[in-house]
Amino acid sequence: MRRIDYHTHTIFSPDAKSQPEEHILEAIKKGLDEICFTDHNDFVFEPKWLLKADAYFNALLPLKEKYKDQIKVKIGIEVGLDMKSKERTEILVRSYPFDFVIGSIHSIDLCDFAAEPSFYEGKTKQQVHAEYFDAMKTCVEAFDCFDVLGHLDYVRRYGPYEDLSIDYAYHQPVIDEVFKTLIRKGKGIEINVSGFKRFHEGLPNYLEAKRYYELGGRILTMGTDSHIACDVGTYIDQAIDIYGDIGFDDVTTFTQRKIDHHGV
């Protein structure tokens, strides 16, 4: 598999700290084949989480040219999938020449479940996770403006629970519907390797990625979700070792929202 980092955040995201050029230099240092910038846009959390897209392209296009002989640089975006902002999100994606779009569930019913403790009050973990996967199913059915679904089991990071694990067997029928919809629409999943820091595996875990493959899914990217340059490329080799035996013979890469290479 090629070594790519298709999920990175720079100073164009409010929660990130590094300049784009620092990310590129780190990717070159670690011998990556490609890096894709995917800074945030979440209309639910405006104005803080709105991408300044004109400035973003003005900063990244010269860097793409500057380093073209050392690494492939792609310009993407991570959009929050939320039904209340569907039209605005689709307009944004259409309005700029993004190479690649990650669609992620960062909110449920306009609530940031990563930052709002009140979201969990009066609910069991099973109920929270069911809400999350139901929201995901609704969004992947409704949205067409993304290429891969970001960090499938992202909700695993959050909640006031000693045991943060997900009962995948209980939620598998809904997750399967998510996978089938992605496959039917020609969209993929990412292995978000940030999960290795906490859970010693990516998001989604091995068995869920394998299930996606068993159902016919073949579009797969990998990304660190790095918010600081030194994290670019970390855990990519571990992810390739672990997920590589599922059957994917390579990762998928994109140019101008079209697949330019992927495995079998």
pLDDT in tens, 144-176: 999 999 999 999 999 999 999 999 999 999 999
- Give the model's pLDDT for residue 261: 74
Say how far apart CA 217 and CA 204 lie, in whole Å.
Answer: 14
pLDDT tens digits for 64-95?
999 999 999 999 999 999 999 999 999 999 99
- The CATH number assigned to the domain holding 162 equals 3.20.20.140
Per-residue pLDDT at 263 exceeds 70: no
Q: How many domains does the chain have?
A: 1
Q: How confident is the model at residue 264 (pLDDT cuts 50, 70, 90)?
A: low
Residues ≥6 apart with Cβ < 8 Å to 53: 41, 77, 92, 95, 96
Domain extent at residue 18: 4-261
Closest among 223, 140, 220 to 184, alpha carbons compared: 140
pLDDT tens digits for 48-61?
999 999 999 999 99
Q: How confident is the model at residue 109 (pLDDT cuts 50, 70, 90)?
A: confident
Looking at the chain, the whole-number percentage of residues with pLDDT higher than 90 is 95
- Give the model's pLDDT for residue 169: 97
User: Cβ(233)–Cβ(30) under 8 Å?
Assistant: yes
Pairing of strands 253-255, 220-223: unpaired
Average pLDDT over residues 210-239: 98
pTM metric for this prediction:
0.96
Interior angle at CA 246, CA 240 and CA 250, nearest 5: 50
